Amino acid sequence: MQAKFMQEAIRLSLSKMRKNCGGPFGAVVVRQGKIIGRGWNQVTSANDPTAHAEIIAIRAACKKLKTFQLADCELYASCEPCPMCLSAIYWARFQKVYYANTRRDAAKIQFDDDFIYCEVSRPIARRKIPMRQLLRAEALKVFAEWKTKPDKIRY
């Protein structure tokens, strides 16, 4: 069964790449042996840098299940997830992730996620994009209210 799901992720990557939807990446979300979400890279066709295959598949699965957590699901991706997708995978609480190509394979065709992996581990002051903190005291008030909000939905 696992090979069947990975084949679908790879099929999506090839089919949608050939249709100029975006880069050569596909993903499927599987729950109880059924595909409940499909995604392919739509960065260039949607003009959306976050429209990676994994993100699109996660959004489709969450919409179908009417939930923001996929703890009883598995993700099949045609390539090792980039840092953004990896973060989304953790937020979604996937049970397991399978991938085909590695990030080194992707780097060989000019999809080099290593830059972002390195940036994330650097101190904020040493990152390529300048980041400055502003109005922390004001923002902390919102966090304080969230902390005591009785009807919040935890995630």
Q: Identify the helix (H) or strand (E) that includes residue 100.
A: strand 96-101
138 is catalytic: no
User: Is residue 71 within 8 Å of 95, Cβ to Cβ?
Assistant: yes
Of 54, 74, 138, 145, the catalytic one is 54
Residue showing tokens 């399978």: 98
User: Is residue 22 within 8 Å of 40, Cβ to Cβ?
Assistant: yes
Which three-class secondary structure state does DSSP give residue 135? coil
Q: What are 59's two structure tokens?
A: 């959004």
Positions annotated as catalytic residues are 54
